[in-house]
Structure 1
Amino acid sequence: MKTSHLYLPIVAATISAIGQVMLKYAMVRVGRLHLSFGMIGHALVEPIFVCAIAIYVLALLIWMQVLSTTPLNIAYSILAVTYVLVPVFSYFAFGEQMTPGQMAGVALILVGVAFIGKL
């Protein structure tokens, strides 16, 4: 398998995970979301929220490149690495703890992604 078939999905997943952490940080600052124009307006003036959306757009553009060059069954499976990155990033960004069961799940996901990457 070409290295690019592995590289780009992992890049897209990493950028998406960073966007997810930034979005969480922004929503902590904005507060509980009540779907109203005022609350949405409040979120839109939060710089971290705007950066998170920009990062999602970047991840989408990279994902579009992935889809144009990589078999979907491989690319989408590799995208599961976000389930590993988000908990790790959350630990460092927010001090969120992981249970042993969650850590085992993360390890299983990594093993699965590694198997898919070897195909």
Structure 2
Amino acid sequence: MRRFYLIGFLVLVCFDTFAQICFKLTANHAMPPEANLGWVLRVLSSPWVYCAIACYIGAFVSWMTLLEHAPIGPAFAASHLEVISVMALSVVIFGEHIGVPQLLGSALIIAGIVCLAISETDGEQPTAPH
């Protein structure tokens, strides 16, 4: 079951991450941002927006599948790993800068996931034979 969780969360994080990256690519394609039909048409003409939608559908299916089996606390926390993966890929793909606040926030997200995972493991009591 642990392998299922690991693969499931990896798939979920990948879908979520790529959806966010695709939305950024869509925004770059549709520049400049304007509140008019021309901007909407530029968004809809970008292949990245459709990739983002497909990734969101994949993330939804992955999340629903994980929720059937995974404990909710660690599952919810682990679903936020995409914040870190999007930030890291944004540095590589878009040349964005990561500062100390982002690094501290990433560390807190990881610490929270670890704490929830440990508490979930500690909470499992072996059942006594009847």
TM-score by length of 1: 0.83
| Separation (CA, whole Å) in 1 of partners of 2:20 and 2:57 | 12
Query: Greater helix share, 1 or 2?
Result: 1
User: Shift in Å at residue 77 of structure 1?
Assistant: 1.1
For 2:25, the aligned partner's letter is Y
| Separation (CA, whole Å) in 1 of partners of 2:10 and 2:114 | 12
For 1:2, the aligned partner's letter is R
Q: What does residue 55 of structure 2 align with? A: 55
Q: What does residue 69 of structure 2 align with? A: 69
Residue identity (%): 25
Higher relative contact order (CA 8 A, sep 6+): 1
Give RMSD over aligned pairs: 2.1
Q: What does residue 116 of structure 1 align with? A: 116
TM-score by length of 2: 0.77
For 1:74, the aligned partner's letter is P
Q: What does residue 39 of structure 2 align with? A: 39
For 2:59, the aligned partner's letter is A
Q: What does residue 96 of structure 1 align with? A: 96
| Compared CA separation, residues 29 and 7, structure 1 to 2 (3 A) | same
| Separation (CA, whole Å) in 2 of partners of 1:34 and 1:64 | 35
User: Shift in Å at residue 80 of structure 1?
Assistant: 1.5
Q: What does residue 24 of structure 2 align with? A: 24
For 1:108, the aligned partner's letter is L
Q: What does residue 7 of structure 1 align with? A: 7
For 2:111, the aligned partner's letter is V
Counterpart contact for 1:26–1:49, Cα < 8 Å: yes
User: Shift in Å at residue 35 of structure 1?
Assistant: 5.1
Gaps of 5+ in 2: 121-130
Q: What does residue 126 of structure 2 align with? A: none
Secondary structure of 1:107's aligned partner: helix
| Separation (CA, whole Å) in 2 of partners of 1:112 and 1:7 | 20
Counterpart contact for 1:23–1:52, Cα < 8 Å: yes
| Separation (CA, whole Å) in 1 of partners of 2:87 and 2:64 | 25
The reply on whether 1:86 has 2:82 as its aligned counterpart is no
Gaps of 5+ in 1: none
